[in-house]
Amino acid sequence: MKTSRLTSSLFIFFSIFASWGSSSSIFEVTPTSEDFISCLQSNSNNATTISQLIFTPINSSFLPIWQSAISNLRFNTSSTPKPSVIVTPTDETQVRTALLCTKRHGYEMRIRCGGHDFEGLSYMADVPFVMLDLFNMRSIDLNVENRTAWVQGGATLGELYYTISQTTDTLYFPAGICSTVGVGGFLSGGGYGNLVRKYGLGADNVLDARFMDVNGRILDRKSMGEDLFWAIRGGGASSFGIVLAWKLRLVPVPERVTLFMQSITLEQGATDVYYKYQYVLPKFDRDLLIRVQINSENIGNTTKKTIRILFHGIYQGSIDTLLPLLDQSFPELNVTREICQEVRMVQTTLQFGGFTTSTPVEVLANRSAAAHLSYKTKSDYVRTPIPKSGLRKIWRKMFESDKSEFLVMYTFGGKMEEYSDTALPYPHRAGVLYQVFKSVSLLDQASDTTPTSLRRIAWIRSLDKTLEPYVSSNPREAYSNYNDLDLGVGSGSYEEASVWGERYWKRDNFKKLIRIKAKVDPENFFRHPQSIPVFSTPLTDI
């Protein structure tokens, strides 16, 4: 962030601080949007400006703004419970005003960055709530010499990648492949991507943050302390406050990297190739990552089904270096020079994101460029190679689907082996061979309650049972950024919350997150169905 801008913001911020006093924690019995808006206007240094950033259901722009960043169309329905007010701040003082007015008038708050919340928790709730949409706060300040970037909480990964690509081809950030994912949500869940084996999680490469706590104070890493800084990098930042900006470490990449795609069906030996993949790739040179996509399809024009496995690789080096390595360790994959291409790192983001490598990179900064889908997802982690008999059971289960299913495996190992489970809240580290992402599409259905939708959702739940013997256990791990309300939402006691909390963070990390939450947000203002809970009984007594 620019120093002059931060200094100005802080001056304004503290000049109005005294006007709130202790009244900001007093809740009215019945929240009304009129009282809330009046509160914003009367506590803003420019009532006209703040009024242009507020939207209620009577505004014609309300619904388009609410819909604009919903990536899962499953929740873009007339019956989805919507916010009472949407606030779209442009600076930190407006965020603070919105926060304190939300508290004063008895609303809950939901914070939206990119809108890729798989269960819609950032933009819907069954209680009166204010949605704080940060899309106007997306500045990105690069310092190439120091290999750092300050990125505001409302920026997307695509905007970050595009900004980097306009300055250098030898630095990048280790984040995900979908350009419209919000940087804030991505990092607050840990965040992995094509550089995970080389540089770890996105959250491993966060150096500092600007964070607003429940009382409206702006904190940095030093003033918030290492516990809270630990918690917001993988423990779900929206449980603790509002991340206004992140300071990121940019990592070195070659000017040209290698891409390849190899597609294999069962008839071509896909089971044997995948079986060996599990043993070879997690221990392979960490410059190589392979994303594996699996789906069922019909064979030609027949009704007979097969499984197609797509191996999508990215290597931090040249074709000439990659081919001998694969020929020696994984010749079954049959990667040839003809299916490889050397490209800029930003072009790999284009290809993995569903574009071609020749697509203009400007598309990454276009928030409306990515396809909007409708889906139900689940996640798992594999720590022991699945035997061929298990793979065949999975294929048979996939044959029961109507070809709406989509499985993705992401290779781990490499740098991830160097981190303990407790280095950050994200615990799926050493010993993980790969992550499993499971999805069924509902895009061709009018809602998620049609007979077909219900059948598909039931199928993906049954797939979970099929996978149970082959994935991690005690706990069976899941990725918090792929939130799944099937895991549970109760938080009345630790025993109740641990059903889902230990799957996301494991026991030690979950308990630590609860202790930190009790200190920084003891009244549990920042909450949603799977937020870090606050208990009346101290955790040390459990």
Tell me, letter by letter, the H, E, C secondary structure of 509-540: HHHHHHHHHHHHCCCCCCCCCCCCCCCCCCHH
Angle value at C-alpha 468, between 463 and 471, nearest 5 degrees: 110
Nearest to 69 by CA among 58, 52, 83, 49: 83
Which residues is 380 bridged to in the sheet? 436
Exposure of 71 in the CB half-sphere (CA atoms within 13 A): 21
Which of these is catalytic: 192, 482, 494, 504? 482
**156's tokens:** 């997307």
Cβ 115 vs Cβ 122: under 8 Å:
yes
Our answer to whether residue 482 is catalytic in this structure is yes
> What is the DSSP-derived secondary structure letter of residue 368?
T
- 367's CB contacts (< 8 A; 6+ apart) are 68, 69, 135, 156, 158, 180
Cβ 458 vs Cβ 378: under 8 Å:
no
The stretches of 330-414 forming alpha helices (DSSP H) are 345-352, 388-399
Q: What are phi and psi of 353, to 5 degrees?
A: -90, 5
Long-range contacts of 272-276 (CB under 8 A, 24+ apart): 272/332, 272/388, 273/309, 273/311, 273/332, 273/333, 274/309, 274/391, 275/385, 275/386, 275/387, 275/388, 275/391, 276/330, 276/332
C-alpha to C-alpha distance for 405 and 297, rounded to whole angstroms: 10
C-alpha to C-alpha distance for 39 and 103, rounded to whole angstroms: 11
Residues with a known catalytic role? 482
